[in-house]
Amino acid sequence: MQQTAIDDLMKSFYGVRVLIVGDVMVDNYIIGKVDRVSPEAPVPVVDVQRFDSRLGGAGNVALNLKALGAIPVLCSAIGRDKEGEDLRRLLEDAGMTTRALLVSDKRKTTTKTRVLGNNHQLLRIDHEVKDDLDTLDSYLLEEHFRRELDNADVVIFEDYNKGVLHGLNIESFLELCQKHGIPTIVDPKKSNFLSYKKATLFKPNLKEIREGLNLEGALSSMDEIRAAVHELNGILRNQATMVTLSEKGVYLLCGEEEYLLPAHVRNIADVSGAGDTVVSVAALCLAKKCPWNTLAALSNLAGGLVCEETGVVPIQADRLLAEAIRVGL
């Protein structure tokens, strides 16, 4: 693409309305210094220096979309608890609506608390319920989804196997999107992997394909990866599948079209959150009806850029544009 074309494309992301349905969570961090071992047990003593709370899961996807100028709406279920209040506050502080969040007395708000000492993670504490939503909560969540779908340009399914998405509501949500002619992109996990049928774009990584199809071996060659993607397409009949290949880039298959885009050389600091960035950029490209090769190239570039940052951080729109121009996208 020429510089003006990529500039125009990224400007067109402003105001795109994105409905994200799936698992939202709070990522808490207890950060400190370690210089001794406890006399009570052979464990490090962390001298706490600060606390940090961030949006995680589908919330990080929303942050990426917001950073690119889009209007994200999270459709999820949280608990009637302090953690749920924290999550709502984080969303509001980021300038995002909470109107599509279902507050349930039967759920805990998924919260992951990480204890870091001397820049190393020492412990993670998970506070969550992973059971599927019950019949009533599933109905209420679908009511939120139907209402928000009227204003959506694209829908992202963000599945972390926490129970918000399950076989029955996935089928219902996808049918509603198809009925309204709204493109869909799926970021899957193992439990519901084969439930996402006839989506516009299915975006697993290699580990998720291996687990989802119960494959043995590492899928180390492109021939093996191609064969797995063709098998997957035969089962799910999605319009396109884009597989993130870590340091090898991305592979996208859509009908007879096929693209293998290598990763750009990076100083990798942390791969956490890269998949969230990829799905966010890809969703906006879907909403703007970009060619498949442009979608794959820009989302691949964005995923690599956030890997240069420590921790889970959203993409910076100006940096993505500058890098796209630099590499001649």
* DSSP one-letter string for 190-213: STTGGG--S-SEE--BHHHHHHHT
Yes or no: say if 121 and 82 are a contact pair by the CB < 8 Å rule.
Answer: no
- How far out from the chain centre does Cα 125 lie? 21
Q: Where on the phi/psi map is residue 173: left (φ > 0), alpha (ψ -120 to 50), or beta?
A: alpha
Helix (H) or strand (E) holding 108: none
CA of residue 252 relative to chain centroid, distance = 18
Q: Specify whether 126 is catalytic.
A: no
Q: Which position has the token pair 């464990």?
A: 43
How far apart, in whole angstroms, are the C-alpha atoms of residue 253 and residue 260? 9
**How many angstroms separate the CA atoms of 75 and 57, rounded?**
12
How far apart are alpha carbons 261 and 249 in whole angstroms?
6
Q: Which of 52, 93, 276, 318 is catalytic?
A: 276
Beta-carbon contacts of 40 under 8 Å, excluding residues fewer than 6 positions away, are none
- d(Cα 186, Cα 188) in Å, to the nearest integer? 6
DSSP 8-state secondary structure symbol assigned to residue 94? T
Could you tell me if 281 and 299 are in contact, meaning their C-beta atoms sit under 8 angstroms apart? yes
DSSP notation for 132-167: PP-HHHHHHHHHHHHHHHTT-SEEEEE--SSSSS-H
Catalytic residue positions, numbered: 276
